[in-house]
């Protein structure tokens, strides 16, 4: 019985994987980011304007449902040089089409810090992401995303202060 159930699951999974449409593309974005400190920061904590760029793969399960995986580099943190952090990120968004041109999506994002060691930041970060995409043509799009850090991005061995990164991205891209 277990063999038949396993075979059925494999056939269903293979059918879903083969029947899906896969699209690739590139995306660039303008970032507006900042940090939320706990307890509140005793210094001026201004936002940082930066940018992000990367590539993505979109798996379309149906006309209205898709999964977007992306690998991107993103400049984040605060305006002051001591609280800037750059990351390689992997957002994974489950997306729903609400019209022919508009999609909304939510999902998790993992990140790996990309610069000098022992600078007070932890190596990994985890965030939640939500956003929308508007298709200008069949290949060109603009999008907006908001991500909020769910983990402390500061090294807990070096400080008692906690900080969460939050970022608004305004992007543009092309699907190939």
Residue 144 covered by a domain: yes
Q: Which of these, 13, 33, 128, 132, lies nearest to 80 by C-alpha position?
A: 33
Note the pLDDT of residue 25. 98
Interatomic CA distance for residues 101 and 148, integer angstroms: 26
Q: Is residue 26 part of a domain?
A: yes
Q: What is the CATH number of the domain that holds 39?
A: 2.40.160.20
Q: Is residue 7 part of a domain?
A: no
Q: In this structure, what are the phi and psi dihedrals at residue 63, rounded to the nearest 5 degrees?
A: -65, -25
Q: Would you give per-residue pLDDT tens digits along the chain (176 residues)?
A: 555 455 555 554 555 555 579 999 999 999 999 888 887 766 677 889 999 999 999 999 999 999 999 999 999 988 888 788 899 999 999 999 999 999 999 999 999 988 766 567 788 999 999 999 999 999 999 999 999 999 988 877 667 788 888 999 999 999 99
- Structure confidence at residue 147 (pLDDT): 97
What is the structure's pLDDT at 155?
A: 73
Residue 45, CA atoms < 13 Å, CB-side half-sphere: 17
pLDDT computed for residue 130 by the predictor? 98
Query: Does residue 94 fall inside a structural domain?
Result: yes
- In this predicted structure, what is the pLDDT of residue 56? 98
Query: 31 to each of 46, 75, 167, 168, how far by Cα in Å?
Result: 13, 7, 6, 6
- DSSP β-ladder status, 102-113 and 124-135: antiparallel
Q: Which helix (H) or strand (E) holds 16?
A: helix 2-19
Domain with 148 in it: 21-175
pLDDT value, residue 81? 82
**Phi, psi values for residue 67, rounded to 5°:** -125, 125
The whole model's pTM is what? 0.81
State how many domains the chain has: 1
């Amino acid at each position: 019985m277990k063999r038949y159930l396993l075979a059925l699951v494999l056939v269903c999974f293979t059918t879903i994987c083969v029947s899906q449409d896969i699209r690739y593309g590139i995306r660039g974005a303008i970032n507006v980011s900042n940090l939320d400190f706990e307890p509140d920061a005793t210094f001026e904590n201004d936002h940082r304007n930066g940018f992000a760029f990367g590539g993505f793969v979109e798996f379309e399960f149906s006309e209205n449902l898709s999964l977007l995986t992306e690998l991107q580099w993103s400049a984040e943190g605060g305006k002051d040089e001591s609280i800037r952090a750059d990351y390689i990120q992997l957002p994974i968004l489950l997306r729903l089409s609400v019209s022919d041109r508009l999609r909304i999506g939510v999902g998790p994002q993992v990140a790996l810090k990309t610069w000098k060691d022992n600078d007070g930041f932890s190596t990994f970060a985890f965030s939640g992401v939500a956003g929308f995409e508007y298709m200008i043509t069949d290949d060109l799009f603009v999008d907006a995303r908001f991500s909020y850090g769910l983990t402390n991005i500061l090294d807990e061995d070096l400080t008692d202060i906690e900080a969460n990164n939050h970022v608004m991205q305004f992007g543009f891209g092309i699907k190939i």
